[in-house]
Amino acid sequence: MINKIIKEVKSFSIGYYILAAIAIFGLSVAAYRLYAGLGVTTNLSKAFPWGVWISFDLSTVAFSGGAFTLAALVYVFHLHELHPAVRPTVLAGLIGYSSVLVILFMDLGRWDRAYHFLIYPNINSALFEVSWCIALYSTILLYELSPVLLENTRWKGVIPIIKKWTIPLVIAGVTLSTLHQSSLGTLFVVMSPRVNPLWYSMLLPIFFLITSLAAGLAMVISGAIISYWVFGRTLPENIIAELAWFIPWTLGVYLVLKLGELLITDELHLLFNSGIYSVLFLAELVVGAVIPMILLSFKRVRHSRVGVLTASLLVLAGVVLNRFDVSWFAIKPVNGQIYTPSWMEVAILVGVLATAVLAYSLVAHYFPVFEETAEVIEEKKARKRRMGRILHPRAAAGD
């Protein structure tokens, strides 16, 4: 058994070892942070109690929105032709939310009291709702992924029972995800004195929800294209094109609401006279919304791997910039204090990212995550044809 494990480890490419080294270093720094406290290891302060970790969490939660977006399309709206994308997307969502939970744990001053929201609920807090929803939704994602993990084990007999309750739990998961995606925007509604007027809005919960839908779809598409190059497996071209078709409409609704609100509140002039904030805001809209909308409006782009990947990456870049703007770049300084992350904050963040990528790669390598993807389906058809020739040689000769 040990020899088999050693042989398997030796078969890994150099990329696995690099990711493992980065993950070990980052998680070692994380262990020191838990021991030494926030004051010694971070540049967080009373003026900036939230930093790069929160910006990362907001971006990752938006990216992980692909799981609830796809689940809604497949199980609620019965677009079953998109089902091959469910397994890899749920895996990405689960690992994404797990990363968020780890970083949130790092961000707690009293991490030893992380469980207190369970037994001392503050029902008037937006963070209470976000904490419960993320915890419950992560559990539902694990439940959705469990058939993949059990498929080739002696416990596979319980899979029919699990699948029996999948749809009700998926609906509950979509509800929970919708709640916390929007509630993350609510956190900044109560910060009106600190958030720059270009980003501050009573519609922030709606903006966060809509952009999470676009980011989720873009993440599914990007993952499918990258999987083609890394694992040799991807989603069928027509499914990728169909997912891409939804993005311009989603971004269009977002732009109308975003610019319409600035127009109604007579703040449209801020687009061009707010200095660096104008640059950040316009970059966010142009790079993350306008250009992808135009690109994905063309059928030829939606059916091109490079074209659809480029547009999807632009959407993701725009959402990242939006979350960093709202939670960091567009936050007004207090008494001239500014925030830049310490090297330990960055090291922990990079370590968690490396762990997430390594975990996804290993699970995708050893479990049937891509069982319904294009290459696997073609391989199964080819296997059936070969078996048909063996079992019915005369019929095959007649063909």
DSSP-derived secondary structure for 327-368: IIITBPPBTTB-----HHHHHHHHHHHHHHHHHHHHHHHHS-
H helix count then E strand count, the chain: 19, 0
Question: What Å distances lie between residue 334 and 49, 50, 185, 331, 389, CA to CA?
Answer: 12, 13, 22, 9, 76
C-alpha–C-alpha distance, residues 220 and 90, integer Å: 10
In a domain, 18, yes or no: yes
**356 shares a domain with 324:** no
293 and 348 housed in the same domain = no
CATH code (residue 282):
1.20.1630.10
* 263 and 137 within one domain: yes
DSSP H or E run through 146 = helix 126-150
Asked if residue 201 and residue 269 are part of one domain, the reply reads: yes
Please list the rounded mean pLDDT of every run of 10 residues in the chain (399 residues). Answer: 70 87 96 95 91 94 87 83 84 92 92 89 83 90 91 86 88 88 89 90 94 92 83 80 94 95 92 93 96 96 94 96 94 87 97 94 84 55 55 53
Length of the chain: 399
Q: Is 201 helix (H, G, I), strand (E, B) or coil?
A: coil
196 and 160, same domain (yes or no) = yes
6 with 76, same domain?
A: no
Q: How far apart are CA 69 and CA 88, in angstroms?
A: 13
The pLDDT of residue 398? 52
Same domain, 352 and 257: no
Tell whether 398 is covered by a domain: no
What per-residue confidence (pLDDT) applies to 1? 63
What residue spans of 190-236 are helical by DSSP H? 204-230
CA geometry: angle at 77 spanning 71 and 81, to 5°? 75
* Closest to 216 measured CA to CA, from 383, 328, 337, 74: 74
- Cβ atoms within 10 Å, residue 7: 9
The reply to whether 199 falls in a domain is yes
In a domain, 384, yes or no: no
Provide the 8-state DSSP code for 12: S
Q: Domain boundary at 275, 310, 333, which?
A: 333
Claim to verify: residue 308 and residue 284 sit in the same structural domain: yes
Judge whether 114 lies within some domain.
yes
Element (DSSP H or E) covering residue 162: helix 159-164
Residue at 378 is within a domain? no
Of 313, 333, 353, the domain-final residue:
333
Q: Which of 286, 309, 333 is the last residue of a domain?
A: 333
Q: Cα(152)–Cα(265) distance, rounded to whole angstroms?
A: 58
104 and 13, same structural domain?
no
Owning domain of residue 164: 44-333
Considering the domain boundaries, does residue 87 fall inside one?
Answer: yes
**How many structural domains is the chain composed of?**
2
- Could you tell me if 98 and 139 lie in one domain? yes
For residue 381, being part of any structural domain is answered with no
pLDDT of residue 87: 86
Please classify residue 61 by burial: count the beta carbons closer than 10 Å to its beta carbon, then call 0-12 exposed, 13-18 middle and 19+ buried.
Answer: buried
User: Domain check: are 109 and 173 in the same one?
Assistant: yes
Please indicate, yes or no, whether residues 37 and 68 belong to a single structural domain of this protein: no
pTM of the model: 0.86
63: left (phi over 0), alpha (psi -120 to 50) or beta: alpha
